[in-house]
Amino acid sequence: MSGYLPEGWAETTLASICAHRSGSSKLIKGKLHAEGRPGLYQGFSASGPDVWCDGWDHEGEALVVSAVGTRCGKAFRARGRWSAIANTHVVWPDLGAIDLDYLFLHLNNEAFWVKGGSAQPFVKVRETLERPFALPPLPEQRRIVAKVEALLAEVNAAKARLARASLILRRLRQAVLASACSGRLTEDLRARASRAAPSAAGLAEALRRASPAAPGPGGHGDAGATPLPASWALCPLGALVDNHDGRRVPVSSTAREARRGPYPYYGASGVIDSIDGYLFDGDYLLIAEDGANLLSRSTAVAFPASGRFWVNNHAHVVQPKAGVLLGYLELLLNSLDLQHHVTGSAQPKLTQAALNGIPAPVPPTEEQAEIVRRAQALFALASAIEQRVAAAAARADRLPQTILARAFSGELVPTEAELARAEGRDYEPAEVLLRRLRGERPGSGARPPGAGRAP
């Protein structure tokens, strides 16, 4: 380390004020106890305190560090009687020089560690602990710990609130879909309309006549469904659309490698590739035919596709008939619980016959347009809020590192030197502390308390 040191701080190394040792290679996680009971002692693996041992190797306070794996550099506090097993490293601080919790702030920061390996990363303990280290006076260390813990608690609380906001926005979208396709979203529109307001009954009858093979109107399919507004009608979905599934052509990923081009290639979840040709040209609605998303609904099951594009055999391709708006169909299909229409469990599937038979509430065309306009406006508002929440969450994710950086540069709390001057008292600079400890304990460094002991 070079450059500025806050007043009263000293440059040293953790190796000079800490002892360290690898965890016991004789203790293998798979051969230890997974649950604790009287007579067993806590064991630390690379994942933390998740095993129990018949004996104990160490007694007292220390930090156990995950030494190998994707989370190497993660630290855990150990107290009482305990053991550290393979793939860990134990660090014992000299508590006369460095506070255990202050050391934990450093060691639990995965960016603090020098690492090696790629497929299986590991911490370079000796190289890390022998680097220059800025040491504050002990009282200042404790104030830094208290301030960092208070700030990190605030950050965690803020992140929890942001997570709740994201959940609320997801629920808002679901509520908009449900309201749009049940008539609640346009209640005020119908209330203001005259008795001569248009009805969807004629539209529904015309659609049924144009689709004689479509199933009958049936019911909603869900127990306790909200009754439709009087001006709406209920039709099987197959009567509302023209189906173009027969024009789909699947192309293997190997074949697509040789056919890269400017046209989007769609599957059940949207665009999955590009290709050098197209099967469709126009405005269509694509509906997932298979996949777990039909039930989990982590993404939309219906999505529009416009222009020239290709579709494989995992998405239904439909176009709305006259009087039916594509945007309304998109809202409707994304609002429905499809579990009553999907077959299969390992690989859920929405067949064309099942799709055609879904009971679809149909408003008058003019009301469909207003439903789409209002829903899109609410979705745009939700998206804008979502972007702000995501930006705030990203800032919150960066805050811990910012807080630690300020803490370890002496910028987070007043230094011990500043406080001593303000209070008219003396204090012990870290350099004096280190010289005193070297004088009291020649050879410096702490010895592992209770190392090698067992009952």
pLDDT confidence of residue 277: 97
Separation of alpha carbons 379 and 322, rounded Å: 26
Separation of alpha carbons 220 and 226, rounded Å: 9
Are 274 and 253 spatial neighbours (Cβ–Cβ below 8 Å)? no
Alpha-carbon distance values, 440 to 134, 285, 434, 437, 445 (Å): 22, 80, 10, 5, 11
Q: Which two tokens stand for residue 298?
A: 């982590």
Report helix, strand or coil for 52: strand
Residue 376 lies in a domain: yes
Question: What is the count of structural domains for the chain?
Answer: 3
* Gyration radius (Cα) of the chain, Å: 33
**pLDDT band per the 50, 70, 90 thresholds, residue 194:** low
pLDDT confidence of residue 222: 45
HSE toward the beta carbon, residue 347, CA cutoff 13 A: 5
Nearest to 416 by CA among 400, 402, 427: 427
- In angstroms, how far apart are the furthest CA atoms of the chain? 101
> Do 359 and 248 belong together in one domain?
yes
Separation of alpha carbons 143 and 145, rounded Å: 5
Report helix, strand or coil for 259: coil
Separation of alpha carbons 103 and 141, rounded Å: 9
> Do 23 and 57 belong together in one domain?
yes
What 8-state DSSP symbol labels residue 228?
P
Alpha-carbon distance values, 419 to 134, 139, 204 (Å): 19, 11, 81
Axis crossing angle, helix 138-180 with helix 326-335, rounded to the nearest 10: 120
Residue 273 lies in a domain: yes
> Do 187 and 300 belong together in one domain?
no
For residue 302, what are the β-bridge partners? 287
Contacts of 380 by beta carbon, 8 Å cutoff, 6+ apart: none
When the pLDDT of each residue in the chain is averaged and rounded to a whole number, the result is 91
> Do 53 and 96 belong together in one domain?
yes
What 8-state DSSP symbol labels residue 440?
H
DSSP H or E run through 384: helix 365-407
Residue 207 lies in a domain: no
- Least confident stretch, 163-172, 223-232, 251-260, 355-364: 223-232
- Least confident stretch, 203-217, 240-254, 366-380, 420-434: 203-217
Residue 101 lies in a domain: yes
Q: Percent of the chain having pLDDT more than 70?
A: 91
> Do 304 and 425 belong together in one domain?
no
Are 44 and 88 spatial neighbours (Cβ–Cβ below 8 Å)? yes
Q: Which of 363, 384, 403 is the last residue of a domain?
A: 363
Q: What is the DSSP string of 149-171?
A: HHHHHHHHHHHHHHHHHHHHHHH
Q: Is the pLDDT of residue 203 over 90?
A: no
Q: Which of 324, 340, 363 is the last residue of a domain?
A: 363
Domain residues for the domain of 229 are 213-363
DSSP H or E run through 320: strand 315-320
Q: Which of 363, 384, 406 is the last residue of a domain?
A: 363
> Do 126 and 258 belong together in one domain?
no
What 8-state DSSP symbol labels residue 196?
T
Nearest to 144 by CA among 114, 110, 101, 199: 101
> Do 340 and 396 belong together in one domain?
no
The per-residue pLDDT for range 267-314, each reduced to its tens digit, is 999 999 999 999 999 999 999 999 999 998 889 999 999 999 999 999
Q: Which two tokens stand for residue 107?
A: 């060691």
Are 77 and 117 spatial neighbours (Cβ–Cβ below 8 Å)? no
pLDDT confidence of residue 201: 79
CA–centroid distance for 390 within its chain: 11
> Do 324 and 390 belong together in one domain?
no
- Least confident stretch, 209-213, 338-342, 410-414: 209-213
pLDDT confidence of residue 449: 52
Are 6 and 410 spatial neighbours (Cβ–Cβ below 8 Å)? yes
Averaged pLDDT, 182-208:
81
Q: Is the pLDDT of residue 440 over 90?
A: no
Strands 81-84 and 41-45: parallel
Cβ burial 359-397 (10 Å sphere, 16+ → b, else e): bbbbbbeebbebbbebbeebbeebeeebeebeeebeebe
> Do 351 and 380 belong together in one domain?
no
> Do 217 and 358 belong together in one domain?
yes
Are 212 and 205 spatial neighbours (Cβ–Cβ below 8 Å)? no
Residue 454 lies in a domain: no
> Do 36 and 168 belong together in one domain?
no
The per-residue pLDDT for range 98-142, each reduced to its tens digit, is 999 999 999 999 889 999 988 899 999 999 999 999 999 999 999
DSSP H or E run through 11: strand 10-13
Question: What angle is formed at CA 43 by the lines to CA 41 and CA 46, rounded to 5 degrees?
Answer: 175
Residue 31 lies in a domain: yes
CATH of residue 245: 3.90.220.20
The per-residue pLDDT for range 225-250, each reduced to its tens digit, is 568 899 999 999 999 999 999 999 99
Separation of alpha carbons 286 and 294, rounded Å: 13
Q: Is the pLDDT of residue 219 over 50?
A: no
The per-residue pLDDT for range 328-344, each reduced to its tens digit, is 999 999 999 999 999 98
> Do 287 and 244 belong together in one domain?
yes
User: Residue 305 burial by CB count (10 A; 0-12/13-18/19+): exposed, middle or buried?
Assistant: buried
CATH of residue 185: 1.10.287
